[in-house]
Chain A
């Protein structure tokens, strides 16, 4: 008992909070939250990079097309994107896609379109002279982008990336709306079963979310320091 709170409900069901029905059923709880977050993180990093590069393309058709996609997705609440993926994707692809992957797809699409704006800003933030100098040394536009502009731009983007990813880790909790048994859903289940300990249960998962986000921020700060190279501008 801590100040009238009784955390035994959390203690007794700890394995359920962390693993869900695994190994008797699919993975759930904290493990599923991390899985959703990590997979979507990797995919949306790639997606954001590609979309961002497309949106600064010199080809007008590509530029407008990618901008339209980005603006459409950015103009929708994440919850809507999840519902779209959940109900539309299986209807299009048959029942082959699991609920977990519809969530990953939704998170990836959503986060990618935000990331692409960071990428675009990062690239545009590099002085024009850099590109001109690189091209005048005989590099092609593509080479100049890959070896000169992007390395500088990406470094400037890191803090915004981390910000976006932390927000995505928390966004995985929206998966609970379609019955994917990640941490928030597990907490709701436990609360519905017991009814007596909502404060304890939701306080516990708040702490878990904080630990995950804080650990990720610290990890990226550490990486940032370790891989610090001298800024060229």
Chain B
């Protein structure tokens, strides 16, 4: 019996794999025909992607990029919430056409999906209680929080091998653990940490008690994810990204979500959207 079940499971998995492979067609033409671009986005990670409870609309940095691309295509956008753990399967199975979900470009991921040019550049840092961490040495043997399935998880294990890494479902849960003293630091991209720090600063009880020390352990280029071999859509998206840099739209979106008066102020610095291959080699 057990062998029969095993065979059945294997057969099912093979059928699944075949269906998945059959899906990679010309998404650009299909999207135009359907009139809808289905975008996988984060729905609880401000300022990149979240739902505004008042208007009930998706808002954020990632959302604005998708909106612009869809507008240029002349189609509507349908947002589908994804998590760090399920976003790649969702794309590969054809449940979304494009991913705009704070995804770092890595060579491993590029084996399974294709990435656009870098539309956001950040680096991995730490959020800690003020004055507790000055260098990587202070983190050795301690507990550090991060999110499941993220590149941050792998980077910190490499940078501080002696630390215990606690993986939470999402970063805000990690920050909560930091506030309660269950971890000494939360680590991920500076942009996300800045958003969390911004919120801590707004709370009178935690104001001025947290900081992001100047320790960077990686450079994280974010790319929009598309199905492998989906060349037409990739060309269109890359051309649109370059156009957004040229006409100032990319900078405007950055200022809207990360400018000095926002909840997560960071500097764009020298970053510009270019025809780069960052993170892929």
A interface, CB within 8 angstroms of B: 12-13, 16, 20-22, 24-25, 64, 68, 72, 86-88, 90-92, 94-95, 177-179, 181, 185, 188-196, 198
Contact = CB atoms under 8 A, between A and B. Distances in A.
B40 to A, nearest CB: 9
A120 to B, nearest CB: 19
A12 B53 CA distance: 9
26 contacts: A12-B53, A24-B55, A25-B79, A68-B1, A72-B5, A90-B93, A91-B15, A91-B16, A91-B93, A92-B19, A177-B83, A178-B86, A179-B43, A179-B81, A179-B86, A185-B44, A188-B170, A188-B172, A189-B43, A189-B51, A192-B45, A192-B46, A192-B50, A195-B172, A195-B175, A195-B203
Given A24-B56, A68-B5, A87-B89, A193 B203 contact: no
Contacts of A181: 43, 81
B202 A196 contact: yes
B95 A192 contact: no
Task: Identify which of B15, B46, B53, B86 gathers the most chain A CB atoms within 10 Å of its CB.
Answer: B53
Q: Give the dominant DSSP class at B's interface.
A: mixed
B92 to A, nearest CB: 9
A177 to B, nearest CB: 7
Interface residues of B, number: 39
B35 interface: no
A193 B51 CA distance: 9
Contacts of B203: 195-196
A144 B265 CA distance: 74
A95 B93 contact: yes
Contacts of B175: 195
A21 B43 CA distance: 11
B83 A188 contact: no
Given A91-B16, A189-B43, A192-B44, A179 B82 contact: yes
A25 B86 contact: no
Interface string B82-96: 110010010001110
A64 B1 contact: yes
Given A91-B17, A95-B95, A178-B83, A196 B51 contact: no
